[in-house]
Each structure stands twice: as structure tokens, then as C-alpha cells.
């Protein structure tokens, strides 16, 4: 009986000890959150009166030495107390005219009893309720998001403090100011848990840079980016001359960066590649997708253009099919300096009149100065096809003035509320067009695909306001709105979508893309036959031809 009681007693002690212990990763996760929270919320920190980087470097050794939850909370409580007393103020009533967006705002972690003591959670709540109401010292949306940050020109990846600083800065920027955080595949808290060991224990400069790349990819945002030479070296600095699309888990060659090199390698338009170095296309994609950004699968596959076939070896072995015959083929790779890249890939004209009295406008080449001439020439056509499968060279919002009888609403945006980091508010409705009784009366048809990206998607939303409009094509990139670029620390230049863009009814465009009316996806056979299946379908629609 005594032995049984002793065993039970030991088990109880072990359980109590386990509940009271805290791991290194748990401590760093919580420190990252509190450091960022204080940076943007604490009145004596958010005003810039502290060297907040130095404060992190000072507290990290104390955090490391804390062995229990109580010791950890005590270190943090003392740290918060050192920043100065929090002056309470009467809550300002929200302006009833302002509509807030709160899907990204979640400070429930401040009450996590597994990590924080009750007294620490109480102090964090006090700071939240009496948060800084002045102009944020570290954030400014009128510039490049970040301001007053030390970039550390002598940064070395071997400095653990600076690695953690870079990670903490980025994680908290996304936590409080990325409008689409709520749409990520993986909760941002889980990303914090997963990535802390990568930055705390980076094994090499390449490992550190790959961690930064993976971190940005986890935003599920086509605008999110991070480029560094170590990443390029890892993915490969030698390239094939091939431009391709991925269709049905196969690569189909649609063009070449360098036609002479293509000829040297006996590569032809319409060739289909099904394996790379003995692996299926899907296998290679699975191995590399953590390094390729994209808001959705269509935009991610489009970005694989810069990753899938390159490497560091001089050649790559592929399984290639041409004219029904499949064979293994060796393709040479080249450094970028050996590839003569053709500047002109879009061979379609700026505008032309198609057969059947249908106008065609190439958005990639369209100049605003030519709009009056184009619309006059096309005013009596049965339809105008706007090809938006690319990026406009100019801002073309004035196009709506020719297509609408009156001003129309086309988009809404959410903007960060810098008085309550993590909260956003709905900005004024975006409008386009003007009173115009002589507006274009024919069909307005927009062609879209995965290359309809950012400003292209915004323009498509403008064209969707036309009375007789139709969208034809496939899923767009799903990265609407502005792209904000900034530098976290030396060597870490990055970007993400800065404002949330929605339809007037608040329907999301991010990740989803533009709402389609007629779905048309190019096929391998259609490409091999030289067809533009999307344009062909649009012409059938313009002519009123019914298609099953």
C-alpha cells in the first residue's frame, strides 16, 4: 500500500512540475508576441522613446535563464514595469460613422494561462485598454510601412540576436498590419511556433535565408516576396530557355526566352514535359512549393516558371513528348548571362478590329492617350474584348468613363487602424465612371487568367461595372490592391499586400480572384494547335453563339 501511495505521489509531483515548466520555444514565442505588442501598444514604447531593439537584446538572456512559468512571467512583468506607469484614460466612444473590420484582431493569447501568470495577463489587458493613441513611431502607411527602424548595415547571419530581431519584426508586422492574415492556410500563431527554431538555431546562411523565404510564402499572398542570392543559389543559378505553362500536371512549352538556345537543344513550341530528373511534375512541385509564393494554386503554378526547371547542374534530364512519341531528353542549362532574353513576348497589337465587327484591346500595351481614338473607332462594334491577361503599363481607371452611363461603385478597401493595431476600418467606397449618355452600348468582355494580377485585377473590377459586361477565362492571381515594399533588416527586403480590397458588397477578391462569368481553361491540345481558346470563346459569346 505504501509503495502505491509513493508511486501516486511521484506521479503527482511530475505532473505539477510539467505544468510549471516552460520550453525555450514557448518562451521565445511569447517574447515575440509581447515585444511586438508593447512596440505598438505601450504608450511609452510606441512613441519611440525607447531603443526597442536594445530592450529585446537585454531581455533575451533573462528569458533564457527563466526555468518556470512563474520565473518567466516575473521577468516579463519587471520588464513591463521598467517601461513606465500606464496612465488610464476614459475610453473614447467609437465613431458610429466608421465601420470596423476585426477579423485580424485577436489578443486572446494575452490570457494564455499555460504561459502567463494571472498578474501578467492583467497587465497586458491594462495596456490594451489604455493603448497608445498618438502617431505610431515605427509604422507609417504614407511611406513604405516601416519607419525609424535600424537596418544594421553590419548584420551577420551568425548573430542570433539579430536573426531573432528580424523574425520578430516581420512576424509582428504581419500580425498587426497585414490585411489578409485571416485568410492564410495556416494560422499565423502556428507559423510562429514552427519557425522559431529555424531562426533561433539557423545552421547556415542558406538555412537562414530559406527560412525567410518560407516565412513570406506562408502569407499565401502573390505580393509576398523575399529574394536573396543564397536562395537563388539553393534553387539553382542555371536556367533552360523554356517558357511554359503547367496544365494537367504537365509542362507545355509555350515560348522561349532565347529562340537560338531552344533550337540548339531541339526544343519546340508545344512539346510536353512529364518528368524532371526522373520525378513527376507534381513530385518536383511538392519538393519546392514552400519556396514559391502565390495567393492560390493558379498563381503559385505560374510562379513556378522561375523555379521548376532551373538548377546548378549544367543539364537536366526530362521526359518529353512530341507528336505522340515520348522519350528521355537532356536539356542544357545556362547562366542568365548566356541567355539572350527577347524583350517582346506579347505580339498582339495594342488594339485591332477583329472579324465580325468586334474590337480587341491589349491592356498590356494600352496607353491612356490612345483611349479617345480607340473608343471612337470601336463605338459601333457589337463588342469590345479587353485582354487583361497581363499587367497594364499605365493606370487605366478612366476607361470606365467610356463604358458607363454614370458613376459606379467598384471596390471597397480596409485600411489599418493605427490607433488599435490589428483592427482595420472600411474606407470610402471606390468609384469610377461619370455621367455619359453616349457610353459604349455593346458587349464589354474581359479576358483573365493567372497573369491577371494586382492592378490588372483592380482594372477588371472597374470593367465589371459596365452594364453589359462578361468575364471570360480562368482564376486570377488573387492578389488585389497595393504592393507595399519594405526592408526589415539588411538583406531582408520584402513586400506584401498593404490594403484589403473587396467588391462593394464586401466579397473577397484576395486568394479567390475575380468573379468569373464564363470559365475557360487553355488545354494542351489547344495550345499545340496554336489556338487562343479564351479569346475564341469570347468571340463566340460576342456573336451570340451558344456553347454547351
Across the chain, mean pLDDT equals 94
Whether 66 and 101 map to the same domain: the answer is yes
Do the domain assignments include residue 368?
A: yes
β-strand pairing of 334-335 with 325-332:
unpaired
Do the domain assignments include residue 547?
A: no
> Read out DSSP for 25-79?
HHHHHHHHHHHHHHHHH-TTTTTS-S-HHHHHHHHHHHHHH--BHHHHHHHHHHH
Maximum alpha-carbon separation in the chain: 100
Note the Cα 52 to chain centre separation in Å.
Answer: 28
CATH number at 292 reads: 2.30.42.10
Whether 362 and 310 map to the same domain: the answer is no
Whether 297 and 382 map to the same domain: the answer is no
Do the domain assignments include residue 4?
A: no
Whether 470 and 379 map to the same domain: the answer is yes
Whether 211 and 302 map to the same domain: the answer is no
Do the domain assignments include residue 102?
A: yes
Do the domain assignments include residue 13?
A: no
CA distance 336 to 341: 9
Whether 210 and 283 map to the same domain: the answer is no
CA distance 128 to 225: 31
511, three cell numbers: 486568394
Higher-confidence residue: 496 or 548?
496
Question: Does 365 have pLDDT greater than 80?
Answer: yes
CA 419 → CA 50, 92, 103, 176, distances in Å?
Answer: 19, 11, 16, 11
Q: pTM to 2 decimals?
A: 0.93
CA distance 180 to 480: 11
How confident is the model at residue 2, as a pLDDT? 55
How confident is the model at residue 13, as a pLDDT? 39
Question: Does 7 have pLDDT greater than 60?
Answer: no
Question: Does 460 have pLDDT greater than 60?
Answer: yes
Q: Which of 160, 193, 220 is the last residue of a domain?
A: 220
Into how many domains does the chain fold?
3
How confident is the model at residue 265, as a pLDDT? 98
Question: Does 82 have pLDDT greater than 90?
Answer: yes
How confident is the model at residue 183, as a pLDDT? 97
Question: Does 34 have pLDDT greater than 90?
Answer: yes
How confident is the model at residue 481, as a pLDDT? 77
By CB atoms closer than 10 A (0-12, 13-18, 19+), residue 140 is middle
* Domain of residue 151, residue span: 21-220
Q: Which of 277, 307, 338 is the last residue of a domain?
A: 338
Amino acid at each position: 500500500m505504501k509503495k502505491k501511495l509513493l508511486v501516486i505521489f511521484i506521479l503527482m509531483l511530475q505532473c505539477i512540475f510539467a505544468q510549471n515548466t516552460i520550453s525555450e520555444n514557448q518562451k521565445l514565442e511569447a517574447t515575440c508576441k509581447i515585444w511586438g505588442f508593447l512596440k505598438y501598444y505601450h504608450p511609452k514604447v510606441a512613441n519611440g522613446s525607447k531603443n526597442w531593439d536594445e530592450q529585446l537584446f537585454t531581455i533575451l538572456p533573462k528569458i533564457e535563464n527563466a526555468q518556470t512559468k512563474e520565473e518567466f512571467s516575473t521577468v516579463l512583468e519587471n520588464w513591463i514595469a521598467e517601461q513606465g506607469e500606464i496612465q488610464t484614460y476614459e475610453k473614447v466612444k467609437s465613431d458610429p460613422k466608421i465601420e470596423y473590420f476585426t477579423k485580424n484582431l485577436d489578443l486572446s493569447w494575452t490570457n494564455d494561462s499555460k504561459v502567463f501568470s494571472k498578474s501578467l495577463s492583467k497587465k497586458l489587458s491594462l495596456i490594451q485598454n489604455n493603448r497608445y493613441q498618438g502617431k505610431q513611431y515605427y509604422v507609417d502607411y504614407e511611406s513604405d510601412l516601416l519607419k525609424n527602424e535600424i537596418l544594421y548595415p553590419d548584420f551577420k547571419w551568425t548573430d542570433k540576436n539579430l536573426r531573432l530581431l528580424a523574425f520578430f519584426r516581420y512576424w509582428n508586422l504581419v500580425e498587426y498590419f497585414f490585411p489578409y492574415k485571416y485568410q492564410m492556410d495556416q494560422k499565423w500563431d502556428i507559423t510562429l511556433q514552427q519557425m522559431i527554431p529555424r531562426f533561433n538555431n539557423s545552421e547556415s546562411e542558406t538555412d537562414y535565408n530559406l527560412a525567410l523565404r518560407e516565412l513570406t510564402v506562408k502569407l499565401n499572398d502573390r505580393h509576398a516576396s523575399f529574394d536573396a542570392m543564397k536562395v537563388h543559389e539553393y534553387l539553382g543559378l542555371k536556367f533552360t530557355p523554356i517558357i511554359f505553362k503547367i496544365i494537367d500536371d504537365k509542362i507545355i512549352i509555350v515560348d522561349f526566352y532565347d529562340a537560338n538556345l531552344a533550337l540548339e537543344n531541339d526544343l519546340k513550341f508545344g512539346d510536353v514535359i512529364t518528368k524532371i530528373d526522373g520525378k513527376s511534375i507534381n513530385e518536383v512541385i511538392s519538393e519546392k512549393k514552400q519556396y514559391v509564393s502565390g495567393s492560390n494554386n493558379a498563381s503559385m503554378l505560374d510562379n513556378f516558371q522561375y523555379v521548376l526547371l532551373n538548377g546548378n547542374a549544367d543539364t537536366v534530364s526530362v521526359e518529353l513528348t512530341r507528336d505522340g512519341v515520348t522519350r528521355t531528353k537532356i536539356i542544357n542549362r545556362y547562366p542568365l548571362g548566356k541567355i539572350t532574353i527577347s524583350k517582346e513576348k506579347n505580339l498582339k497589337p495594342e488594339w485591332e478590329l477583329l472579324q465580325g465587327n468586334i474590337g480587341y484591346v491589349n491592356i498590356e500595351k494600352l496607353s491612356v492617350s490612345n483611349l479617345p481614338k480607340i473608343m471612337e473607332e470601336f463605338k459601333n462594334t457589337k463588342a469590345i474584348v479587353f485582354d487583361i491577361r497581363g499587367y497594364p503599363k499605365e493606370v487605366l481607371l478612366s476607361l470606365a468613363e467610356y463604358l458607363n452611363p454614370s458613376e459606379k461603385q467598384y471596390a471597397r478597401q480596409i485600411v489599418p487602424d493605427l490607433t488599435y493595431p490589428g483592427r482595420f476600418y472600411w474606407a470610402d467606397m471606390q468609384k469610377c465612371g461619370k455621367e455619359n449618355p453616349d457610353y459604349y452600348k455593346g458587349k464589354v468582355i474581359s479576358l483573365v487568367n493567372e497573369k491577371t494580377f494586382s492592378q490588372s485585377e483592380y482594372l477588371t473590377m472597374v470593367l465589371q461595372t459596365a452594364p453589359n459586361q462578361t468575364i471570360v477565362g480562368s482564376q486570377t492571381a488573387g492578389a488585389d490592391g497595393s504592393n507595399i515594399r519594405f526592408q526589415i533588416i539588411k538583406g531582408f527586403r520584402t513586400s506584401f499586400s498593404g490594403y484589403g480590397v473587396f467588391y462593394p458588397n464586401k466579397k473577397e477578391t484576395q486568394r479567390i480572384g475575380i468573379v468569373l462569368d464564363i470559365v475557360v481553361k487553355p488545354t494542351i491540345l489547344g495550345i499545340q494547335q496554336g489556338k487562343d481558346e479564351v479569346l475564341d470563346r469570347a468571340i463566340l459569346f460576342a456573336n451570340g453563339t451558344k456553347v454547351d
